[in-house]
Amino acid sequence: MDVSHLLDELNDPQRAAVTAPEGHVLVLAGAGSGKTRVLVHRLAWLIQVGHVSPLGIMAVTFTNKAAGEMRERAGKLLGISTRPLWIGTFHGIAHRLLRMHWKEARLPENFQILDADDQQRLLRRILREEGYDESQWPVRQAQWFINGRKDEGERAHHIEHMDHPTTAAWVNIYQRYEEYCQRGGLVDFAELLLRAHELWLEQPQVLQHYQRRVQHLLIDEFQDTNAIQYAWLRMLAGNTGQVFVVGDDDQSIYGWRGAKVENVQSFVRDFPDVTTIKLEQNYRSTGNILEAANALISHNTGRMGKKLWTADEEGAAIQIYAAYNEQDEARFVIEQIRRWMDEGRKAEEAAILYRTSAQSRLFEEYLLRESIPYRVYGGQRFFERLEVKDALAYLRLLQNPHDDAALERVINKPTRAIGDKTIAELRIQAREAGVTLWTAINACLQQQKLAARAAGAVQGFVDLINGMNERMKDWSLGNQMQGVIDDSDLISAYDKEPRERSETRVENLRELVNAADSFILPAEDADVGMNELQSFLSRAALEAGETQGESWDDCVQLMTLHSAKGLEFPLVFMAGVEEGLFPHQRSIEEAGGRLEEERRLCYVGITRAREHLVMSYAEIRRMHGTENYCRPSRFINELPAERLQEIRPRVAQNRPWVPASRPTPAVARVAPVKGQEWPFRLGQGVEHRKFGEGTVLAFEGSGEHTRVQVNFSNAGTKWLVLAYANLEAS
C-alpha cells in the first residue's frame, strides 16, 4: 500500500514520531510544531501500515473540539468511516464506560451528570443543612476541596488528618455530598473519572477486557492530565497497551485545576523504554517571536528542554507600549487594529489577549465606540443558561424523579406557593429518613405531615411531574421538551424580568426545543443502551455547547490567555503585562511553582502570534476603584532587548503604523518612566488658551524640544511643544 500521503510534508522528527516502532512514545511538541498532525498521522499509520484494527485504538483529548477535529482529520486521511475509532475526551470516554458498566460501577442505570453549577447548588444545600456558616465555609471552597480530592483519586474515607478540625469539616461535607449523589444517581465531572478508575480497580474482568481490546492509546495535551487520569491510563495500558502521548511541558497552564506537569516526566519513568521525540520546528511564528518565547521560557527550571526555531524570516520586532493608564492602553490597541484594518487586513486576524476576563470590558467599550466588530470568548454557554437549565431540569425529573438537584431547581419555578419553609421541612424529612426528596415528598403527603396549604401545593407539583411522565412517556424528544415547558408554565417564571431579558429567555427555550427536535440519538450512545433523552441530557452536560449562539463573521477576537491556548492569530495584543496583574499577584505570593506557570502562560500568549506581537502595560491602572502605580511585568524584562521595539506615543499618534517587513532596529530596553524635570505630572489637569481643559498623557524629548501629549476634553488628544504651548496647571 502506498503510504506516502502519511509521510509527505512531514519533517524528520514528525516522521519519526508517526512511524515509531513498537513501544511507548513521548512526543514533546512545541507550540505550532504540528502536534495534531502528528497525532492524526500516527493514528492513520497504525491502521494502514501497522494493520491495527480501528477497534484497538483509543484516542483521548481534553476538549470536545479537539476530539471532533481529530476525528474529522483522521476520516479525511483514512478515507474510511471513523465510527469504530474510539476518539473522545477523558470525560466522554469515562461516561461511556459507566453507561456500559453501570452495574459494576454501582450506579443506577439512569444516572445523571451534574455540571459545576448543579454541584454548587447541591453543596450549598448540604452546607446549610449541616449548619455551616457560609461565610466561614464558602461553597466555592467546598467545591474546590471535593473536586481536588477526587482529582487525586481520594474518597472521603481515604482522607487522613482528620485530627485537623478544618479538614474534618470538609471531609464531613464531602461525605454528605457523596451520600446525596449516590442516592440520587448523580455524578459530577470529577466523579466520572474517579468511578471509571474504580471500575478498573474493582472489576478486574472488565479491566482485562479493555486491556485486551485497546492495543494503542493516543493522548493529546498530556501535560494537562491530572492524577486520576494518569492512573486510569496506566491501568488501561497494563503491560501490553502501547501509549503514544503528545504534550508540551512549557504549555502547562492548568496546574491550579489539578493538572500535573510532572506526569510528563513520570511517563518516562513509569513506562518501560519510552522513545522521546522533540518537535521544535515551528510553522507559525516569525523568528523574533520565537526568540522572545525561547528567552522567556528559559527562565523556568526543571524543563524537559526545547528550543523553537523557524525556517522563516525574523519578521517584525515585538512592540512594547507603555500606556499611561488602562484607558490609554485600550485606546492604543484599538487604534492599531483600526490601522491594521485600514491596510486591508481582517478584523478576525487580530486578537486581544489578557490575564483576567474583567479586562475585556474597556476594550469592548473602545471597539464599540469605533464600531469595530468583536467577539469575546468564554462566558456563558448555551446549555448553561439559567432558563435552559430550568427546562432541562424538568426533563431530568422525567428521566429520574430522584434527581434532587433537578427537583430543587424547579419545585417552585414558576412559583407555585411552595415556600422556603415547606422545602426546608421536606429536606429535614428526607435527611432523617436517608431518602431522596422525591421519596420524602411522597411519604409526607401520604402521612399528611404537611400543613394543608403546603400539602396542596406540593401535591400539585407531584401531580405535574407524574402527569408529564405518564402522558409524555412515548413522545419524541422534541415534543417532550416542548411539553415540559408548556405543562410547567416555566415561561411565566420570567414574566417579571425586564422585557428584553425575558424575551431572550423565551427565545433560548425555543432554540432548546429546536435542538431537542433535531437531535438524533448518536449510534455510539445507542450502542451503550442509552435512550434519546438520556443521551441528550448527557451531551448537554458534557458538551455545554458553543459559547456564543451566532458566530460573527469578521470580528476582533477577545479572550483570556488561558482560552487562547491552541489558537493562532497574525496580530496579537497582549494587554496588561504588569507586575501584579501578569504575573498575577496571587501567583507571586503563592509558592509551589505558580510563578513558573504564569511564565508558561506568557509563553503560550507569545506563541499565539504569527506576524506581529504587541505587548502593553499601563503605568497607572484603576482596579477595584483605586489607582495603582504599576511596574512593567518581569516577563518583559526577560525578553531579549534586541527583539523589542518600544513604541512611543508619538509614533502611535502621528505616523501610520506600518507592520515592519524587515527587522526593526532595537530600541533600548523598556524602563519605567521616572519623574523627570517636567513641569507637569502625568495625569495632571492643564488648561490651554485655545483647546481648553485637558489631561497630561505623556512627555517626549528634552530641553526646548520637549513635547507634551494632552487629552483635551473638547479638542481631543494633541501633541504640543511645551515651550510654545503655554499650558497652565488647572
Give me the residues that bind DNA (CB under 7 A), please. Answer: 62-65, 89-92, 115-116, 124, 135, 189-190, 256-257, 355-358, 361, 378, 412, 415-417, 419, 496, 542-544, 547, 559-560, 562-563, 584, 586-587, 590, 594, 622, 624-625
Q: Which is nearer to DNA, 62 or 699 (CB)?
A: 62
Q: Which three cell numbers stand for residue 478?
A: 422534541
Residue 27: strand, helix, or coil: strand
Dihedral angle sign, alpha carbons of residues 35, 40, 41, 45: positive
Minimum distance from CB of 714 to DNA (Å)? Answer: 22
Nearer to DNA, 42 or 355 (CB): 355
Whether residue 454 contacts residue 513, with contact meaning beta carbons closer than 8 Å, is answered with no
Least spacing, CB of residue 257 vs DNA, in Å = 5
Which residue carries 528550543 as its cell? 307
Identity of the residue, 54 or 545, whose beta carbon is nearer to DNA in the bound complex: 545
Residue with Cβ nearer DNA (106 or 622): 622
What backbone torsions phi and psi does residue 58 show, to the nearest 5 degrees? -125, 125
Helix, strand or coil, per DSSP, at residue 205: helix
Judged by beta carbon, residue 340 or residue 494, the one nearer DNA is: 494
Between 421 and 510, CB nearer to DNA:
421
Which residue, 187 or 236, is less far from DNA as judged by CB? Answer: 187
Could you give the CA distance from residue 427 to residue 368 in angstroms, rounded to a whole number? 49
Q: How far is the CB of 93 from DNA (least distance, A)?
A: 9
Cell numbers representing residue 647 in the block? 513604541
Residue 703: CB minimum distance to DNA, A: 38
Active site residue 251: yes
CA distances from 404 to 187, 312, 399, 409, 439 (A): 12, 59, 12, 8, 10
Shortest distance (Å) from residue 411 CB to DNA: 11
Q: How many CA atoms lie within 13 A of 200 on its CB side?
A: 20
How many angstroms separate the CA atoms of 233 and 383, rounded?
A: 30
Nearest-5° angle of CA 206, CA 152, CA 199?
Answer: 10
15 catalytic residue (yes or no):
no
- In the DSSP assignment, the letter for residue 730 is -
Compute the distance between CA of residue 498 and CA of residue 658 in angstroms, rounded to an integer: 47
User: What phi and psi, each to the nearest 5 degrees, are found at residue 519?
Assistant: -75, 130
- Is residue 308 a contact partner of residue 13, using CB atoms and an 8 Å limit? no
Nearest Cα to Cα of residue 410 among 485, 476, 466, 475: 485
Smallest separation (angstroms) from DNA to the CB of 689: 30
Q: Which is catalytic among the residues 48, 251, 399, 709?
A: 251
Give the chain's radius of gyration (CA, Å).
29
- Cα–Cα dist 537/395, whole Å: 8
624/689 with CB nearer DNA: 624
Q: How many CA atoms lie within 13 A of 588 on its CB side?
A: 11
Strands 556-560 and 374-376: parallel
Rounded CA separation 250/35 (Å): 14
H or E stretch including 193?
Answer: helix 189-202
Q: Least separation, in Å, of the C-beta of 451 and DNA?
A: 14
Nearer to DNA (CB atom), residue 144 or residue 680: 144
Cell of 29: 511538541
Question: Min. distance of Cβ 708 from DNA in angstroms?
Answer: 26
∠ CA 487-491-493 to the nearest 5 degrees? 110
Query: Residue 221 catalytic?
Result: yes
What CA–CA distance (Å, rounded) separates 606 from 600?
A: 10
**Nearer to DNA among residue 577 and residue 644 (C-beta):** 577
Cell of 334: 484599538
Q: Of these residues, 118, 151, 221, 329, which one is catalytic?
A: 221
Give the nearest distance from C-beta 284 to DNA in angstroms.
21
How buried is 442 (Cβ within 10 angstroms: 0-12 exposed, 13-18 middle, 19+ buried)?
middle
Tell me phi and psi for residue 374, to 5 degrees: -145, 165
d(CA 490, CA 487): 8
Residue 35 is among the residues annotated as catalytic for this protein = yes
Nearer to DNA, 96 or 176 (CB): 96
Block residue for cell numbers 450502542: 527
Nearest distance, CB of residue 726 and DNA, angstroms:
32
Question: Given 154, 220, 349, 404, which residue is catalytic?
Answer: 220
Of 150 and 306, the one with the shorter C-beta distance to DNA is 150
d(CA 161, CA 163): 5
Least distance (Å) from DNA to the CB of residue 417?
Answer: 5
Q: Please, what is the minimum distance in Å from the beta carbon of residue 358 to DNA?
A: 6
Angle between helices 532-542 and 90-100 (to 10 degrees): 150
Which listed residue (19, 36, 175, 439) is catalytic?
36
In the set 149, 375, 396, 608, the catalytic residue is 608
- What distance in Å separates the CA atoms of residue 12 and residue 471, rounded to the nearest whole number? 64
Q: Catalytic residue positions?
A: 35-36, 220-221, 251, 608
